[in-house]
Structure 1
Amino acid sequence: MDKPAEMFDRDYEWSALTRFIADEQPGAALGVVSGRRRQGKTFLLDAACRAAGGFYFGATEATDVESLRRISAMLTAHLQPASPYHFADWSEAVDALLALGAERPVPVVIDEFPYLAKANPELPSVIQEAFRPLRDQRTSSRTRLLLCGSALSFMGKLLSGNAPLRGRAGLELVVRTLDHRLAAEFWDITDPRLALQVNAIVGGTPAYRREFTRGDTPDGPDDFDDWVVRTVLNPETPLFREARYLLAEEPDLRDTALYLSVLAAVADGNTTRGGMAGYLERKATDIAHPINVLEDAGLLRRDADIFRENRSTYRIAEPLIGFYHAIMRPAWDRLERPGSAARVWQASRRRFTSNVLGPHFEQVCRDWALHFADPDLLGGLPARVGHGVVHDPKARTGHEVDVAAVGIDDGAKPKLLAIGEAKWNDTMGIAHSDRLRHIRDLITQAGRYDTSQTRLLCFSGAGFNDKARSAADASRDVHLVDLSLLYGLA
């Protein structure tokens, strides 16, 4: 299958779909494709159907009867049989879809599958029965049935535990957001500082450039403030209310006010369960359920402390939601009034830097260490990268470590490959590497990690002074990482 020329990247996803669809083995096969909304799943699957001569059905919120009527009409239009289809139930419909692959491998896509399952909870069991191993309709077919959905909480449970379809799928593909490097390329931004500022707001969601801002990209660093005002803070653009809709579209989020408050607590810097509970003036046990639901929905992410496993912090997984809660929600009434966006943004710039840009920069640094950093620079291939707090018993305080890379476990004491500090708006000096060296000594004293080869990483969005550069040049274990290196430009 030839990937469409207009499709940006998605080489991995296209290759996975190609292998699954073009597999000549006899017998129908089931695949599950998931991912957050606006990532291009529909475009990807529709393009695969067009390339391989398959059938695509996009479900809508409707009754079971109406959905059966729609798929009957669409399959009739697709095949143009002597007499039109009128499916009485989903068993008939699924068997008709399996019959499409009688002569060759054929992709069949059911998009927004959670809508169908909501109207008919027995549908996963119907598909389970249709894909019974020795069933004639399955063994005589080479249909490649792909179930797709954006409700991550539902899709995540589709193949788990005792779910009917567990063990039936031959493909489980997650269409992820673009990483910071691909996002910069997609937005056609070559300045790394500007790229990270934009990424801190819209993340790596493709639709936010093409559909939601109609291709409006900042025309250089000096245009960033005006771009924010005319796009994300503009009530006339779809991006203005998108963060609210993302929450409302999740089927498991019923008490929306509570979930909004939990996200607001995290955006305000309350990243622990205790901090969130204090912000909401509730007991920690009262917010356990909404935290778990937000995690399942892919809107909240839990990060374990590298140095204390029993302590975790939480961060908002979708940058646009973090931006909404930090900047837009507190001034929502003013923003809805035309002409107020510029004044709100001017008053919110400092909060944007501290509550949005700073934490996002730290996360990009962790992503770089895990996925992009040269293993020679880190002293090995990292198994996990996170952050944590190192206790200083003598000073009776804790030292925050923004980046901590742990090597692959080889049975001995785990190796701490690197620790790092990330500063978005500060020009870093020798004091930062000295601080990291002191923290490394504390970790050595604790005895949990092998720190004999631990590198010290200084990440800065504003650069380094001469003393820091001289110290790094003179030391084998200190490395300076600027924006150019983070974006692969150095």
Structure 2
Amino acid sequence: MLGKPDHVFDRAREWQGLTRFVSGGAASAQQVGATLGVVSGRRRQGKSFLLQALAETTGGMYFAATEATEAESLRLFNESLTRYTRQVAEFPFRDWNDAIPYMFRVIRDQRVPVIIDEFPFLTRASPALPSIIQRELGPGGSGRDSLVRLVLCGSAMSVMGKLLAGQAPLRGRAGLELVIHPFRYREAARFWGITDPRLAVLVHAVIGGTPAYRYEFTQSDRPADVADFDSWVCRTVLNPQTPLFREARYLLAEEAEIRDTALYHSVLAAIASGNATNGGIANFVGRKSDQITHPLKVLEDCALITREPDLFRSGRARYRIVEPLITFYEAIMRRRWPELEIHRAESVWGSMRPTFLAQVVGPHFEALCRDFALHADESLYGGFPAEVGAGVVADPANRTQIEIDVAVLAPQESGRPRRVLSLGETKWGEVMGTHHVQRLARARDLLAGKGYDTGDTVLACYSGSGFTDDLRTVAKNDPRVLLIGLDRLYG
């Protein structure tokens, strides 16, 4: 396996997948025929950076497509092939029916990646291109006698997601399907060089784990400490002179499937403000529930939102915005955009900071705690966390509902009740006490009455502000009470 270059931060698993695809190991020593890989991910995640490093390390070819006509794209591709192979094509490419077979022939004896980045730009001008690649990778195609590892990469998630789906021409042809995600919260803190977990949560709630925001979009500006956070927000994301200021708008505008941007912004604003159910979103937007089904599906396909089912109520679900910067924009910036454009960041932030803590940081902290639980060692909850999410437990006797922020379920076993490993509550700005555990215990008992296995359920409190002495005493004496503070979250 080829070593990862030192300038590539993290991405060990992704690098391993890419190099395994290129080399194939001993199993592919006798394999003949070109293979296809597909790499996708939202913009700014470092896909191009990673693939350029792959091309340099393996001696492969990297071609970045641009928004252009088919004729210009063919010329640019031909020029890239000529520079790489040092061979000049006998005739100019008339279309991709000429270009793809020529590529396989001219690089046929090298097991190297040929990377075509921003592939959706090409398919927009040449819709038949995926079918041409499929044909050439087939039994009678020019790729049959080639060792090329063709990698198609793109940021338009709605386009890339359909490339291998359903009846798409390339379905079943790919030997690699890799999605480049943002850094997880711990990796993001290391990438930003932040060691204070409280500051790490606050920064992550604004810009998430997108690598490009660290250097290109903020010019390496990072908050020195928690006291500097407010100033950092005003001089970066709320500053009209920085590219981060309009980034959330561009993320939406870049998706080809999104046409009525006003409707989509309203849907996102509904979710950001806490109206995350289908009915809540519809009421906020002023449409019927069936009229927002399509926008929600498009936003899901674009990897901008995700649908999270209620673990304890079948058929119920809540939507969550995947990109923190969009949540920040919809909850904070969009409401006060005219003021921000005339450089009134300090006054806007002063009045919107409570909204930031309630509507942005609080829900974001919940998501981080669920991420923590999902990747926890099985010894923490007494079993493997097969499913982690949120849920609502009805309490008919008290005529109320108990919201569970972090529910951890064991794998479903045939013929046995579903085991609840843990029930958890999160509080960002509140010191948690024994009443929080009592509430979780009530939910545990109600679930037991519904047929769940709660005999060993761990009651977990996740706090950004600490725990009372009484609660610490309870946790010390009861192994089924677990306290997770910021140090543990980032430990």
TM-score under structure 2 length normalisation? 0.97
Match of 1:73 among 74, 79, 93: 79
Following superposition, the deviation at residue 93 of structure 1 comes to: 1.0
Could you tell me which residue of structure 2 aligns to residue 270 of structure 1?
Answer: 275
Following superposition, the deviation at residue 396 of structure 1 comes to: 1.7
For 2:84 and 2:107, the matched residues in 1 are separated by 14
Q: Give the 3-state SS of the residue equivalent to 1:359 in structure 2.
A: helix
Contact 2:9–2:191, Cα closer than 8 Å, also in 1: yes
For 2:195 and 2:287, the matched residues in 1 are separated by 46
Following superposition, the deviation at residue 134 of structure 1 comes to: 4.3
For 1:307 and 1:71, the matched residues in 2 are separated by 53
Could you tell me which residue of structure 1 aligns to residue 133 of structure 2?
Answer: 127
Match of 2:366 among 357, 362, 369: 362
Following superposition, the deviation at residue 206 of structure 1 comes to: 0.3
Contact 2:62–2:117, Cα closer than 8 Å, also in 1: yes
Instruction: For structure 2, list consecutive stretches of 5 or more residues without a partner in the other structure.
Output: none
1:320 aligns with 2:321: no
Instruction: For structure 1, list consecutive stretches of 5 or more residues without a partner in the other structure.
Output: none
Could you tell me which residue of structure 2 aligns to residue 260 of structure 1?
Answer: 265
Could you tell me which residue of structure 2 aligns to residue 13 of structure 1?
Answer: 14
Could you tell me which residue of structure 1 aligns to residue 220 of structure 2?
Answer: 215
Aligned partner letter, 1:144: R
Contact 1:100–1:143, Cα closer than 8 Å, also in 2: no
Aligned partner letter, 2:474: A
Contact 2:457–2:480, Cα closer than 8 Å, also in 1: yes
For 1:429 and 1:83, the matched residues in 2 are separated by 74
For 1:304 and 1:57, the matched residues in 2 are separated by 40
Match of 2:291 among 274, 280, 286: 286
Following superposition, the deviation at residue 83 of structure 1 comes to: 5.3
Could you tell me which residue of structure 1 aligns to residue 196 of structure 2?
Answer: 191
For 1:16 and 1:87, the matched residues in 2 are separated by 33
Could you tell me which residue of structure 1 aligns to residue 241 of structure 2?
Answer: 236
Change (3 A) 1:85 1:333: farther
Following superposition, the deviation at residue 2 of structure 1 comes to: 3.1
1:337 aligns with 2:342: yes
Match of 1:168 among 173, 195, 198: 173
Aligned residues: 484
For 1:30 and 1:193, the matched residues in 2 are separated by 43
Match of 1:349 among 346, 353, 364: 353
Following superposition, the deviation at residue 221 of structure 1 comes to: 1.2
Matches of residues 30-179 of structure 1 in structure 2 within 5 Å? 30-82=36-88, 86-135=92-141, 137-179=142-184
Deviation beyond 3 Å, 4+ runs, structure 1:
82-85
Aligned partner letter, 2:23: A
Contact 2:409–2:420, Cα closer than 8 Å, also in 1: yes
Could you tell me which residue of structure 2 aligns to residue 437 of structure 1?
Answer: 441
For 2:3 and 2:478, the matched residues in 1 are separated by 50
Report sequence identity in percent. Answer: 54
Q: Deviation per CA, 1:126-164, whole angstroms, max 9, x where unpaired?
A: 1110100343x2221000000001111111111111110
Q: Give the 3-state SS of the residue equivalent to 1:480 in structure 2.
A: strand
Aligned partner letter, 1:328: M
Aligned partner letter, 2:444: R
Q: Give the 3-state SS of the residue equivalent to 1:38 in structure 2.
A: coil
Q: Give the 3-state SS of the residue equivalent to 1:457 in structure 2.
A: strand
Aligned partner letter, 1:10: R
Could you tell me which residue of structure 1 aligns to residue 306 of structure 2?
Answer: 301
Q: CA RMSD in A?
A: 1.1
Q: Give the 3-state SS of the residue equivalent to 2:187 in structure 1.
A: helix
For 1:42 and 1:84, the matched residues in 2 are separated by 30
Contact 1:180–1:364, Cα closer than 8 Å, also in 2: yes
Following superposition, the deviation at residue 79 of structure 1 comes to: 2.1
Following superposition, the deviation at residue 52 of structure 1 comes to: 1.1
Aligned partner letter, 1:15: Q
TM-score under structure 1 length normalisation? 0.97
For 1:292 and 1:367, the matched residues in 2 are separated by 23
